[in-house]
Structure 1
C-alpha cells in the first residue's frame, strides 16, 4: 500500500510538484509570477503627468536638492498659534505695616493747625500746611543715602560775596539734618577765616594733618586736627601765615583729601578767590559738585559769570552745567526805599540758563556779624533757603557707589 503523501503528490499537477531543494522563486518563475529586479525595464525619461487626486506632488528624495535650472516654488507656511502665557502663581499678600494698618495721617507740628488738633483732643486733624509739607520734603531730600565720599567745592572770583559764610552754613545744614560726618576744609591761601565760623577746639591746621598723615588710622586720630560746632560740622583750618599757606600745593590738597575721605561722607572746600593758585587745579579735578557764590550787586553777578566763563574756557563745561549758583545776602526792597535796586529776576534767569540750579539766600543780621555761626539764630527765611540749597546739593548725589579717585 503506497504512502498517503505520495498519493497526494500524484494527485497534484506535475508542474506544481517541487523538490526539497526547490525554492519559492523557482516556483513563481515557473508560473511567470516572479520578476527579477535586474531585468525590470526602465521607463524612459519624459514629462510626468499630474498626480492622482489625494496624493502629494512628486519631489526629490529627502536629502537631495533640486537642480538649479528648476525653480522651486516656496510653499506658504501656516502661522503657528502663539503659546499660551505661563500661568504664574498669585503673589503673596503684602504683610507690611502700611498694608495691614494703613498710613496714619501725620499730626500738625506747628501753627494754628496744631492748636486746633490739641484743643479738639486729637479729633480734628487737618495735617500740616503746604509750607511745612514742602519743608519735610526738602528734609527727606537732604537725607538721601550717600555711598562713599562726596566732594563739594565752593568758589568765587570776587571776594566779599560771602563764600566762606555759604560754606559754613551749607556744611552746618547738611551736618544737622544728616547723620553722617561732614567736614569743611579751608583751602584759601590768603589766610582763610573758615575756622572762625565754629568754636576753636584745636590750634592744629592742615599742615599738621599732612605732617602726621601716615599715623592717622582711625576717626579719633583725625578728630584731633578739626574743630566742631554745635551743628556737628567739623572744620580743618588753614595756616594763618600767608607765607606758609601759599605753599599749599595741588599735591598737598590731594594728600589731605586722601585722609579725609576715609572718615567723612561730605567734604566741602572753601576755595580762594584766585583761580590760578596752585591748589585750585586739584580742587576742581577732585570736586563732584561746584557751588559758585555771587552777591546781589551788579559787580558780584558779573564776577560770578566771569568765573563760569573761566571754567568753560579751561575744560570744565560739564562741571559748569551741573553747578549751583548761590546769590547771597540779598536785601529785599522795603517801603522806605532800602534794599537792592538790581532786578534779581534777570540775574536768576541768567545763571539758570548756565547752571543746574540757582538758590537765593536772603540777608541775615546774624551772618553779617562775621562771628561763629549758629543755625538757631538765623531768620526762618534764611534757614529755609539753606535747606533748599542743601536739598539741591543732595539731588546730585550718585545713585551707586563711586570709587574714590
Structure 2
C-alpha cells in the first residue's frame, strides 16, 4: 500500500480574494515522489538537548532550536515575533512545570501542526465566505467504475455542507440506479425515481426534501430507493437540477460511466467545475484522460471544465502505481499541478459502507477540506467566466 500526501496540507497565504485558488507549499510538489505521513513526526532530536540544558541550568538562557534556519531580518521592523512557547510534548511539559519560567519553543511536529491548523482555518473561511448569485454545480466524473466517484461525491458534498451550514444537495445522475443511497447515511423512503415521476408537483423546499436524506454533515442526498427505477433521461436530469437549484446553493452530481448518454450530457451542461476522482491505477487514470479529451470537443463550456478540472487521487488499499508517474500524465494533458490532490487511505472509506464524516481519520478530513477549498476557488473563477460569456 502506498501512502501519499496531498497538495494544500501546509499551504500558507492561501488566498487574497476568493477568485484565487489555494496554492500548494513548495515541498508538496515532491509529495508524490516521497510518500510520507505529514502528520506523524519523529521525536525531535532537540528534546534530548533540552533535558541536558534543564539539568545544567542553562535552558532559561538558551532558546529552543528553531525548526528551520531563518534569514536575519533586514531591520527591526521586519523582525518576526518569537514563536508561542511549546504547549505539547516534552517541551510543553517543561514549560508547564516551570510555572512559566521556561519558554521553550515548539518542536518541529508542534510547529507543523500549528501551520496546518492555520491553513485549515483559511480553507474553511474561503469555503464558508464564497457566494454566488445563483446555484452552482459540481460534476464528479470518471468513466472507470470503482474510481471513487460516489464516495468522493458524498465526502466532498459533506465537507462543503458541514462548513457552510448546509444548502448542499448530492444527486444521483447516472442512467441506471447507482450506489449513492447505499454509501450515504440513512434509508431513503423516496428517491430519484420518485422525484422524477412527481416533479411536476414539487414546488417548495419542504416538498423537495421529502425525496432527500439529510446527512450528519447537513448535506442532502437524492439517491435511489432499493426499488427499481426507470433509466434517467437528459430531460430528467435538467428538471431535477432546476428544482434543486431553487432551494440549494451547491449541487454535487454523482455521474454514470457512459459519456455519450443523455443524463451525462445534461450534467455537463449544468456543471461549473469538474472533479475527477481516480484510484492509483493506470486503467482509472486512462479513463480520466479520455474524459478530458471528450469534453474538449463538446463546446466552450465543456472545454472549460476540462481545462480547469480538479483531480483527486484516492487509495483503497489495493496494489497501486507510483503516484508521480500517474500525476505526470495529468500535467502532460494540461492539468495544473496545483489542481492535483491526494486523499490518503482511510479504512472507513475502504469499508464500502455508509460514509460519515465523523468516522474519517483526521488526515482524510484535512485533505478533503483542502480539496473543497480548491474546488470552491475554481468555482469562483468558472462561474464568473461562464456567466460573463452568456
Asked if TM exceeds 0.5, the reply is yes
How far has the Cα of 1:110 moved from its partner?
8.2
What SS class does the counterpart of residue 313 from structure 1 fall into?
coil
- Alpha-carbon distance in 1 for matches of 2:226, 2:271: 25
TM-score by length of 2: 0.66
- Alpha-carbon distance in 2 for matches of 1:108, 1:200: 46
Task: Report the CA distance shift for 1:130/1:119 in structure 2 as closer, same or farther (over 3 A).
Answer: farther
Task: Report the CA distance shift for 1:159/1:116 in structure 2 as closer, same or farther (over 3 A).
Answer: farther
How far has the Cα of 1:109 moved from its partner?
12
The correspondence for 1:346, drawn from 325, 332, 349, is: 325
Show the counterpart of 1:26. none
The alignment of Structure 1 onto Structure 2 pairs a total of residues equal to 293
Contact 2:166 2:217 survives alignment (8 Å): no
How far has the Cα of 1:314 moved from its partner?
3.0
Task: Report the CA distance shift for 1:109/1:289 in structure 2 as closer, same or farther (over 3 A).
Answer: farther
- Alpha-carbon distance in 2 for matches of 1:251, 1:194: 20
- Alpha-carbon distance in 2 for matches of 1:108, 1:176: 32
The runs of 5 or more residues in structure 2 that have no matched partner are 1-81
How far has the Cα of 1:139 moved from its partner?
1.6
What CA deviation, in whole Å up to 9, does each residue of 1:283-318 have, x standing for no partner?
A: 111101111121101111111111211222333322
Higher relative contact order (CA 8 A, sep 6+): 2
Contact 1:239 1:245 survives alignment (8 Å): no
- Alpha-carbon distance in 1 for matches of 2:83, 2:245: 38
Instruction: Answer 1 or 2: which has greater helix percent.
Output: 2
Task: Report the CA distance shift for 1:390/1:284 in structure 2 as closer, same or farther (over 3 A).
Answer: same
Task: Report the CA distance shift for 1:219/1:312 in structure 2 as closer, same or farther (over 3 A).
Answer: same
How far has the Cα of 1:345 moved from its partner?
1.1
Residue pairs, 1:5-404, within 5 angstroms: 111-112=88-89, 129-147=114-132, 148-238=134-224, 240=226, 244-246=229-231, 248-315=232-299, 316-329=302-315, 340=320, 342-353=321-332, 354-356=334-336, 357-398=339-380
Task: Report the CA distance shift for 1:330/1:211 in structure 2 as closer, same or farther (over 3 A).
Answer: closer
Task: Report the CA distance shift for 1:116/1:225 in structure 2 as closer, same or farther (over 3 A).
Answer: farther
Task: Report the CA distance shift for 1:120/1:268 in structure 2 as closer, same or farther (over 3 A).
Answer: farther
Task: Report the CA distance shift for 1:130/1:290 in structure 2 as closer, same or farther (over 3 A).
Answer: same
Task: Report the CA distance shift for 1:135/1:222 in structure 2 as closer, same or farther (over 3 A).
Answer: same
RMSD, matched Cα: 3.3
Task: Report the CA distance shift for 1:379/1:214 in structure 2 as closer, same or farther (over 3 A).
Answer: same
TM-score by length of 1: 0.64
- Alpha-carbon distance in 2 for matches of 1:115, 1:322: 48
How far has the Cα of 1:359 moved from its partner?
1.0
- Alpha-carbon distance in 1 for matches of 2:179, 2:87: 37
Contact 1:308 1:320 survives alignment (8 Å): yes
* Larger radius of gyration between Structure 1 and Structure 2: 1
Task: Report the CA distance shift for 1:366/1:251 in structure 2 as closer, same or farther (over 3 A).
Answer: same
- Alpha-carbon distance in 1 for matches of 2:307, 2:87: 39
- Alpha-carbon distance in 2 for matches of 1:372, 1:110: 37
Show the counterpart of 2:78. none
Contact 1:238 1:245 survives alignment (8 Å): no
- Alpha-carbon distance in 1 for matches of 2:154, 2:212: 14
How far has the Cα of 1:267 moved from its partner?
0.5
Contact 1:161 1:300 survives alignment (8 Å): yes
Task: Report the CA distance shift for 1:195/1:107 in structure 2 as closer, same or farther (over 3 A).
Answer: farther
What SS class does the counterpart of residue 186 from structure 2 fall into?
coil
How far has the Cα of 1:138 moved from its partner?
1.7
- Alpha-carbon distance in 2 for matches of 1:109, 1:278: 58
Task: Report the CA distance shift for 1:221/1:352 in structure 2 as closer, same or farther (over 3 A).
Answer: same
Contact 1:321 1:355 survives alignment (8 Å): yes
Task: Report the CA distance shift for 1:218/1:302 in structure 2 as closer, same or farther (over 3 A).
Answer: same
Show the counterpart of 1:29. none
